[in-house]
Structure formats: C-alpha cells, structure tokens
Chain A
Amino acid sequence: MSVRNLTVSYGEEAVLRDVSLDIREGEIFGIIGPANSGKTTFLRALNRMEEFDPAMKVEGTILLNGRDTSQVRNVYALRRRIGVVFPLPVGLPLSIYENVAFSPRLAGIRKRAELDEIVERCLRRAALWDEVKDRLNALGSLLSGGQQQRLTIARALSQEPELLLLDEFSIAVDPVTTMRIEDVLKELKEEVTIVLVTNLVQQARRLADRTAFILEGDLVEVGETEDLFTGPVLDQRTRDYVEGRFG
C-alpha cells in the first residue's frame, strides 16, 4: 500500500500535511507521535471515512494493491477489505456470535455452518474463544473491556481484511490482555498487513517492523523501527520523542 502526498483537513485546518509513505505487505507498520498529531486521521483517511464526516477533506492518493482507493466505486467493499480496531473497545449490542458474524452477513454469507466456522476461527485467532465458547449468545457489549477489545479484533478478522488498522488498541485494556493481543498480532502478520497506531513508543518497538513518526501533521521520519531508536540520528525530534524528552 502506498500513500502519496496525503493531506487531510477539517474545515480550514490541515491535520495531516503531505504525507507520503509505503506500507509493505505482511509487515506491522507502526505509527507513533504525540496526541493530536494526526495519527487517527491517517487511519480514517485509509478507510475513506470522510463520507460520514462532511468537514473532513482528503487530498492526495492512497494506493491499495495498486488501486487508487478514492476511485473505488464500491466504498463498502473497500472498507470490508480493511479491518479497524478503535482505542475504546466497541462491542456491538448483539450477541458475541452476531458481533463476529456481522460482517460476513453483510458480505452475503447466510449458511449457519459457514458462519459457525468463521466465528470460531476468528475468535480463536483473537485469543478469545476459550473464554466465550460456552456463552456465544451473551451480549458482546457486556464483556469486560479487554474481552471486548479482542472481540473487536475477531470482528475485524471476520472481514478477511488485507489490512488491519489498530488505533491505540491498548489504551483501555489491562497489561495482561495487551500482551496477549500483542502476541496475536505477531502471529497475524503472516496473513495480514497491520498498521499499528500507538502512543506507546515501546509498543511500537516491540511489534513494528517499520515505524513512522508523525508530529503535528507532518511525517518526520519513517524507517526500520530499530533505526529510530538506535540508528544514526536523521532527525533530532524523532530521537527526542522516542527517548521520552517530549510527548
């Protein structure tokens, strides 16, 4: 996936300016930066969420598998190829089963056996199956925060995404669950490209193959994650941020 000259503005104010970067297939791509630097906006632009926000304006090109996403006419099919996990877990007010079956149903899958199979596979991959397999009919929105976040990941996986976007997924999740999800992500990158937005520098270091540092809407630096921490200093701001001198 390639992003070229992406500028996103809300009203008059540009939140992201002229961002160009490439995300390789099968990698975990980290995006770090202080609050309000435009990290979430970047993810929203990838998923073409400007349709639901009249104030949001996107310029530049985003190529997914060589196709300009802004030219994709079936935007719903495009979004189904992209899974999103939000900072605060959102279990839909449906049963656990229906939460995971939601997207497959949208895609037109009706057969119970097929749905059963998808639900179990996705819950297993999100490391939630063992905790919920006996109560698939319980409400997904009443699970604990950590469980709901894994349910959200299972739901994103049920879309069979090419791209999984995670937006500060650990912000409302306990450390043990965070570690479990991180393990899940390491396994998942075999099959799906992951974009991991995080304000935890060390989380990016643990997980991301390459990392971009965004500051106040500008892409400051992008490179192999370890280089941002220990490689030659390309931009002093990056080093200051990852070493905790600001942010």
Chain B
Amino acid sequence: MTRFASTELDERNRRVEWLFRTLFLMMTLILIVPVALILGVLIYKGSPVISWEFLTTIPRDGMTAGGIMPAFVGTIWIVTVALIASVPVGIASAIYLSEYAPDNWLTRVINLAIINLAGVPSIVHALFGLGAFVTFAGFGTSILAASLTLAVMTLPVVIVSTRESLQAVPYAFREACWNMGATRWQTIRRIVLPNSVSGILTGVILEVSRTAGETAPIMFTGAAFFLPFLPQSVFDQTMAMSLHLFVISTQVPGVDEALPYGVALVLIGMVLAMNATSIGFRVYLRGKKKW
C-alpha cells in the first residue's frame, strides 16, 4: 500500500492540474456569455416587430417605420452573386494549390498573397472595389460591383477551407490511385473530391454567413441608402440588411427603437440559419466516416 502513497510532489501536481483545468474551463464558458447576451437582447427587443408584414413591405415614413423587404431581398442577391463569383475560383485554386502546385517560388508567392488578402481590412476592400469594379470596370454602383468586392474579400476563406478539406484526404489514397495509372485529375475526381465535398460546403456556407453581414465593402460599391424597389438585374443598386441596420441606427432620426433590433434579429437569423446548415453538414460528414 505504501508504495502508492502520494508524495508532496504528487499532491502539488494534482492541485496545479485542477487549477489549470478550471482556468481553461472558465475561459471556455466566458465564450458563451457574449453570444447569449447578444441573442437574448435581440430577441427581447427585436421580436415584437418581426412579422410577415415586416419582411414583405418596404420602409415607410423616411425609414422610421415599415418593413425591410428591399434590404432582405438585396442581401440575398448580393450574397448569391458573390458566391457565384468566388466559389468556382476559390475551389479551383485550392485544388491547384493542394493537388498540383510544385513547391517553388511561385507557389510560395501565391500562398503569401492569400494570407495577405485575408488580412486586408474590409474598408480597404471597399475602396479597391470602388476603384476596380465601380469605376475601372464600369459596373457603376451595382449588385455586381458589390458582390465582386465581397467575392475578392472572401476568396481566401474559400481557398483555405477547401485546401484543408482536400488535405484531410489521406495521401495514401492518392498514391494508390497514381500507382494504378490514374492521372491527377482522375484521382481528384474519383477519390479526393467526393471525400472532401462536405468539408468544402461547410467552408462555403461559413463564407456566406460572413458575406451577409459585411457592411463596409458594399457601402461604396452597390448598397443604397434608401431604394424602395427590388433589384431587377445585377446592374441595379439595392438595399442591404447590414447597411440598412447601420443607416436606421445612426443616420435617421426618430426611428422606433425596436426597429433596428428587429433588423439585427433578422440578419443574425439569416447567418445562424446558414451556420446551422453548416453544422448539419459536419454531422452528416461524421456519420459517413469512410476510413
């Protein structure tokens, strides 16, 4: 029995172990606090204004009352066009970087560019979009210009998450295919992509939720202060949820206090719905473990 008696040192180790465990747990729990507070306040203050009418009518009385339909629809337009622009480019370049790129200076430069692109502040992207898409490309302030600006901004997210999903497919599968005489593309199409598609979709959905909430990049490039019509094409301007929230919170006097909270609640609802889909995919992925 005595052989297992704790020494002074064992006791100390145990106390330190408990201390750190508790510390890390506390830090983790603190994470929940802002999320819970934000959601709580939004639901408490915002839910009274949410109604079918709120979602389907245009703002009235100088935006101090009425619904949010143009902004709601506009955000869906902007996000959709941004996705159409960024997802194919992002996935294709991720496949190149993960499956084809040799380890040389060009690849390193590209990787550096991706990291830097991810680090550029969104207001800088806004100015870039204004110069490149609105003025130089001649799209004017339009959904197209706003979406392309967002697409450039979110490309690194798509590339990095796609590349990680591709890298998660074991290298041994690739080697086995190559040894059987498969080309790189045959290997990618038959083995690598089918087994990383859920991860790629997860990344794309996370990108959507980020795109939906961005304000600065669309402010100068396509989102309108007030526009009581629905956009008819990608060359139209549109209202957007994020900018509308900013406008009625700070720029318009006399707005009913509940209104901004209602807009924020709808916006966060859109984002959370997207994230829920993403979580669903991940659960599906885990359920279909293939090796």
Contact = CB atoms under 8 A, between A and B. Distances in A.
A79 B102 contact: no
A141 interface: yes
A229 interface: no
Contacts of B180: 79-80, 83-84, 102-103, 106, 155-156, 159
Given A88-B172, A92-B191, A77 B290 contact: no
B182 A90 contact: no
Size bracket of the A interface? 20 to 34
A106 to B, nearest CB: 6
Interface in B169-186: 172-173, 175-183, 186
Contacts of A93: 173, 191, 194-195, 290-291
Contact of A79 (B173, B181, B194, B195): B181
A54 B102 contact: yes
Contacts of A106: 180-182, 186
B104 to A, nearest CB: 9
Interface residues of B, number: 20
B8 interface: no
Interface string B250-291: 000000000000000000000000000000000000000011
Contacts of A103: 180-181
B173 A90 contact: yes
A51 B179 CA distance: 11
Given A88-B172, A92-B173, A47 B195 contact: no
B12 interface: no
Contacts of B190: 94, 102
A82 to B, nearest CB: 8
B172 A90 contact: yes
B61 interface: no
A83 B194 CA distance: 24
A82 B113 CA distance: 41
Interface string B186-203: 100011001100000000
Given A91-B291, A92-B191, 15 more contacts: A49-B178, A76-B181, A76-B182, A80-B181, A84-B179, A84-B180, A86-B175, A90-B176, A93-B191, A93-B194, A93-B195, A94-B191, A103-B180, A106-B181, A139-B290
10 contacts: A49-B178, A52-B178, A79-B180, A86-B175, A88-B172, A92-B177, A93-B173, A94-B191, A103-B181, A155-B176
Leading 9 A-B pairs by shortest Cβ distance = A80-B181, A79-B181, A93-B290, A84-B179, A141-B291, A90-B176, A76-B181, A103-B180, A90-B172
